[in-house]
Amino acid sequence: MISQSDNVLKLNSINRRMFILTAAKVIILGGIVSRLFFLQVKENKKYLTLSDKNRIREWKLPPVRGNFEDYFGNTIAGNFEAYQLHLIPEEVENFRYTINRIKNILRLSEKQFQRVLKKKKEIKSWETLIVANNLTWENFSKINNNLYDLNGVKPVISISRNYPFKEYYTHILGYVSQANEQDILSNENIKEKFVQGLKVGKIGLEKTFENDLIGSNSIERYEVNAYGRRISQLAFQKGDQGKTIKLTVDTELQKLSNELLAEKAGSICVMDIFTGHVVAMHSSPSFDPNQFVFGISSDDWQLIRNNPMKPLINKSLTGNYSPGSTIKPIVALSALENKIVNTKFKVHCKGHKNPLELYGQKYHCWKKEGHGFVDLREAMKQSCDTYFYEIARKLGVDKLSETAKKFGLGEKVFGNLFKNEKNGLVPNTIWKKNALGRNWLLGETIITGIGQGYIQTTPIQLCLMTAQIANGGHKIYPKLILDKNNNEEDKFMPLVNQNRNINIVKEAMFSSTNEIRGTSYRSRIDDPKYQFAGKTGTAQVKRITKKDRELDLETSEIPYEERDHALYIAFGPYKSPRYAVSILVEHGGSGSSVAAPLAKKLFKKIVDRHEIRKNFETNKYLNI
């Protein structure tokens, strides 16, 4: 039995301890409250930010790419509304049924169907599955008509790149395609703006002006749950479209160039001889850049890649060709400038039956019977090789190369604008010593005089050269991009010492086209409004052997790869020149029969378009 007194003792003890513990409790409770205060009041901002970071997620949408416009403001690379079919797997009640239904409606092939199923496996069930990314209007409406049966399927209109003129501008603009790892790594801007489905320029101006064109992402802000699933949209921030870039090119001329070179491999360049505006620049064959926007099929790619005419190569800029006789105006000019010859100097051409023999080598003129005694004008007109062998020999390669370089040969015409533009090659003695480690041979000078041997030019260089001859020997800067600021200081700097010399060369070129026995006489236009002056060129691809000369085969009888390149340079209208042209037809045969006739058709259009261009310009200023 417990006694009363013990009970009292026990009660005293328990009450004492209760007070101790109560004091401890108050302190601990104070600790908890201060912790709460610390978290909720003092550090509130920090945790509020963290909480928002948790729940708010931003989705970047692909930016809308800037347009390209031609001189007249026509959109040559724009954006179109692609009809796409999106589907969120978890919102579809019966995925199997729905996807098969879509397959039947769109008539998807088994391959495409499997690709969609594979894609579905790779994504989360609440993420968007793109079933088709570019539907025809017909299929799109079919889907819309059947929507009652397709729960969870969303027909979507999305913005995508479009090249309305298809193959016309491919080699200037390049094309866009899905950004790959290399694009992202090499360009900070792409890295920053990258989203699934972002298309970036792969080549051409699309690549060069990537940073201007790309625009900025639209941003969608969503509230998401812990599993990343979107709960509700909080905000939408519209991005800016990329800059519009205006080109100097005239679509009509570009279109004509394209038609003239149809079925042929080659290039046409047309340049304004004063402003340097490139009004047409086409390389044939071309291909449709729209194929690349959603990824080209492997069959189509093989077709382009294996085409013997090499559509992937931009021949205007990256094709290095022997200029052939088109170099003769420069050779003549150089000789006149260096006072090696005057207009009265004559050479006796005996034809390739009796070739010129110099230093133990034979040099043939193209004409079997020979030209007889020719002066500069006659030699240019009939493109007498013997005459140019002779003056090249007298001139020497170093002086020739000096003049050629002045006129824009041997260096990139557009500077950094195109990554793959070629320099061409204007050889001289120092170059050969450095590059090949051997001494220059006199024989090499002689063939350089007719544009064979080491010398190589791109069609755009020839065009620039012609333009600078046509404008009286003044320096110009070719332009593809239309911009107001003309900050080239040495623009129109004279390239020749005596204007008379230029006029002699121009007059000689005129005779070549407009006088009987001129090499391009058949392609002349008599109407002074359209009249042009030019120079043909036929560049050998392989050395002409003795046997070849004896056979004297027609072009069509020679294997394609061994046929000569046909070249033609021209400027017009002759009375007051404004445009320079260079035409190249790869393995086309002779310049006079293949390239020059194209110029005839071209010049009519060029002059007509010039009127419109001029009016457009004045109107533009009037509007301001």
Tell the smallest beta-carbon distance from residue 33 to another protein (Å): 6
Q: Which one, 40 or 420, has the nearer CB to another protein?
A: 40
Q: Are the C-beta atoms of residues 62 and 199 closer than 8 Å to each other?
A: yes
- Applying CB under 8 A, which of residues 23, 54, 58, 211 lies at the interface with another protein? 54
Cα(363)–Cα(462) distance, integer angstroms: 25
Cα(581)–Cα(561) distance, integer angstroms: 25
Q: Are the C-beta atoms of residues 102 and 143 closer than 8 Å to each other?
A: yes
Q: Are the C-beta atoms of residues 600 and 524 closer than 8 Å to each other?
A: yes
Tell the smallest beta-carbon distance from residue 217 to another protein (Å): 25
Verify binding: residue 23, another protein, rule CB under 8 A. Answer: no
- Applying CB under 8 A, which of residues 23, 147, 231, 430 lies at the interface with another protein? 231
Tell the smallest beta-carbon distance from residue 24 to another protein (Å): 9
Q: Are the C-beta atoms of residues 268 and 598 closer than 8 Å to each other?
A: yes
Tell the smallest beta-carbon distance from residue 42 to another protein (Å): 9
Q: Which one, 32 or 622, has the nearer CB to another protein?
A: 32
Which of 317, 329, 244 has its CA nearest to residue 282?
317
Cα(262)–Cα(258) distance, integer angstroms: 6
Tell the smallest beta-carbon distance from residue 57 to another protein (Å): 11
Tell the smallest beta-carbon distance from residue 235 to another protein (Å): 16
Verify binding: residue 25, another protein, rule CB under 8 A. Answer: yes
Cα 190 from chain centroid (whole Å): 19
Verify binding: residue 624, another protein, rule CB under 8 A. Answer: no
Cα(447)–Cα(442) distance, integer angstroms: 9
Q: Give the CA angle between residues 174, 175, 178 to the nearest 5°.
A: 145
Q: Which one, 49 or 196, has the nearer CB to another protein?
A: 49
Verify binding: residue 124, another protein, rule CB under 8 A. Answer: no
Q: Which one, 17 or 405, has the nearer CB to another protein?
A: 17
Cα(495)–Cα(407) distance, integer angstroms: 7
Cα(384)–Cα(331) distance, integer angstroms: 13
Verify binding: residue 51, another protein, rule CB under 8 A. Answer: yes
Verify binding: residue 529, another protein, rule CB under 8 A. Answer: no
Verify binding: residue 234, another protein, rule CB under 8 A. Answer: no
- Applying CB under 8 A, which of residues 93, 121, 226, 434 lies at the interface with another protein? 226
Partners of 474 in the β-ladder: 494
Can you say whether residue 183 is alpha, beta or left, with left for phi > 0 and alpha for psi between -120 and 50 degrees?
A: alpha
Q: Which residue has the tokens 């320029």?
A: 201
Which stretch, 72-80, 120-128, 226-234, 420-428, contacts another protein (CB under 8 A)? Answer: 226-234
Verify binding: residue 145, another protein, rule CB under 8 A. Answer: no
Verify binding: residue 27, another protein, rule CB under 8 A. Answer: no
Cα 622 from chain centroid (whole Å): 33
Tell the smallest beta-carbon distance from residue 36 to another protein (Å): 5
Count of positions (residues) in the chain: 624
Query: 401-420: which residues touch another protein (CB under 8 A)?
Result: none
* Binding pattern for the stretch 185-224 against another protein, x by CB under 8 A and - elsewhere: --------------------------------------xx
**DSSP labels for 447-485?**
HHTTT-TT-BB-HHHHHHHHHHHHTTSB----BSB--S-
Verify binding: residue 238, another protein, rule CB under 8 A. Answer: no
Query: 566-595: which residues touch another protein (CB under 8 A)?
Result: none
Which stretch, 33-41, 94-102, 125-133, 595-603, contacts another protein (CB under 8 A)? Answer: 33-41
Q: Which one, 22 or 499, has the nearer CB to another protein?
A: 22
Which of 253, 268, 271 has its CA nearest to residue 469?
271
Verify binding: residue 39, another protein, rule CB under 8 A. Answer: yes
Reduced DSSP (H G I as helix, E B as strand, rest coil) percent helix, strand, coil of the chain, to 5: 45, 20, 35
For residue 206 the two structure tokens come to 């699309």
Tell the smallest beta-carbon distance from residue 127 to another protein (Å): 18
Verify binding: residue 302, another protein, rule CB under 8 A. Answer: no
Q: Which one, 47 or 373, has the nearer CB to another protein?
A: 47
Which of 523, 492, 460 has its CA nearest to residue 280?
460
What pairing do the DSSP bridges indicate for beta strands 199-201 and 176-178? antiparallel
147: DSSP letter: G
Query: 256-275: which residues touch another protein (CB under 8 A)?
Result: none
Tell the smallest beta-carbon distance from residue 92 to another protein (Å): 23
Q: Which residue has the tokens 């940073």?
A: 211
Verify binding: residue 549, another protein, rule CB under 8 A. Answer: no
Q: Which one, 40 or 144, has the nearer CB to another protein?
A: 40
Q: Are the C-beta atoms of residues 509 and 383 closer than 8 Å to each other?
A: no
Cα(393)–Cα(448) distance, integer angstroms: 9
Cα 471 from chain centroid (whole Å): 28
- Applying CB under 8 A, which of residues 23, 29, 157, 493 lies at the interface with another protein? 29
Verify binding: residue 13, another protein, rule CB under 8 A. Answer: yes
Cα(374)–Cα(399) distance, integer angstroms: 23
Q: Which one, 224 or 558, has the nearer CB to another protein?
A: 224
Verify binding: residue 442, another protein, rule CB under 8 A. Answer: no
For residue 568 the two structure tokens come to 């033609």
Which stretch, 43-51, 190-198, 532-540, 602-610, contacts another protein (CB under 8 A)? Answer: 43-51
Helix or strand or coil: residue 54?
helix
Helix or strand or coil: residue 219?
strand
Verify binding: residue 125, another protein, rule CB under 8 A. Answer: no
Q: Which one, 33 or 195, has the nearer CB to another protein?
A: 33
Tell the smallest beta-carbon distance from residue 228 to another protein (Å): 10
Tell the smallest beta-carbon distance from residue 79 to another protein (Å): 36
What angle, rounded to 10 degrees, do the helices at 459-470 and 328-337 form? 50
Verify binding: residue 233, another protein, rule CB under 8 A. Answer: no
What angle, rounded to 10 degrees, do the helices at 459-470 and 499-514 form? 110
Reply yes or no: is the peptide bond before residue 285 cis, omega within 30 of 0: yes
Which stretch, 39-47, 239-247, 284-292, 361-369, contacts another protein (CB under 8 A)? Answer: 39-47
Verify binding: residue 225, another protein, rule CB under 8 A. Answer: yes
Q: By CB under 8 A, how many residues form the interface with another protein? A: 40
Catalog residues that contact another protein under the rule CB under 8 A: 1-2, 6-7, 9-11, 13-15, 17-18, 21-22, 25, 28-29, 32-33, 35-37, 39-41, 43-44, 46-48, 50-51, 54-55, 223-227, 231
